[in-house]
A and B are shown apart, each in its own frame.
Chain A
């Protein structure tokens, strides 16, 4: 099993709708979690950090479920500009840093 797993998608979302997707991780000792956004042919950029149960920033909400070992990202009122690949990062307490393979979101008019 990979240390960090994501549904690759694509998630096709009508403009204005809500979309949510998960990232599962294997290291139960992980204390910090990150969602990065990557636009086509661009570098990843931090979207949100999560250190406790969750975080919210405008239309974006991240929720952490430690019991089931996953972190979710929810996007409300989707905009065309939200179309991107969303990468989950779960730094391990030891060992190698792992990025998830990414979830592609396509927002359609």
Chain B
């Protein structure tokens, strides 16, 4: 298996622009997670899905952020409009379950908003 795939790996954009991050989880994993990591705040869970359904989006910072999972093999995290404070590394992860199996992380998308 290729593992969790994320694209793009790097994104540089200007404030106000829309940003779309993409993730393909490991086949057969029922859970998909979106995280954001910064030096100041560490690793933060933004949202997670179970069987394509959003379960907990309480970590989504504000309405500018939205996430979708139209099918079991694809998810997007969208920021519209982007702001400089959104600059971070965004990780996608997938797992078989929530509590007893490890999460496999993608390589991350490094986002810079100018």
Contacts and interface: CB of A to CB of B under 8 A. Distances in A.
Contact of B58 (A45, A51, A96, A99): A96
A19 to B, nearest CB: 21
A57 interface: no
Contacts of A42: 107
A99 B70 CA distance: 27
Nearest to A99: B43
Nearest to B99: A91
- Chain A interface size band reads 20 to 34
Given A43-B91, A97-B45, A102-B42, A31 B107 contact: no
Interface in A75-106: 87, 91, 93, 96-102
A32 B100 contact: yes
Contact of B106 (A43, A99, A100): A43
Contacts, number: 43
A46 interface: yes
B59 A96 contact: yes
Most chain B CB within a 10 A radius of its CB, from A43, A97, A99, A100: A43
Interface in B96-113: 98-100, 102-103, 105-108
A107 B33 CA distance: 32
Contacts of B58: 96
Interface of A: 31-32, 34, 42-46, 49, 51, 87, 91, 93, 96-102
Given A31-B99, A96-B45, A100-B42, 4 more contacts: A98-B45, A99-B35, A99-B43, A101-B43
Q: Which 6 A-B pairs have the closest CB atoms?
A: A43-B105, A91-B99, A46-B102, A101-B42, A99-B43, A32-B100
15 contacts: A32-B99, A42-B107, A43-B105, A43-B106, A43-B108, A45-B105, A46-B103, A91-B99, A96-B56, A96-B58, A97-B33, A97-B45, A97-B48, A101-B42, A102-B42
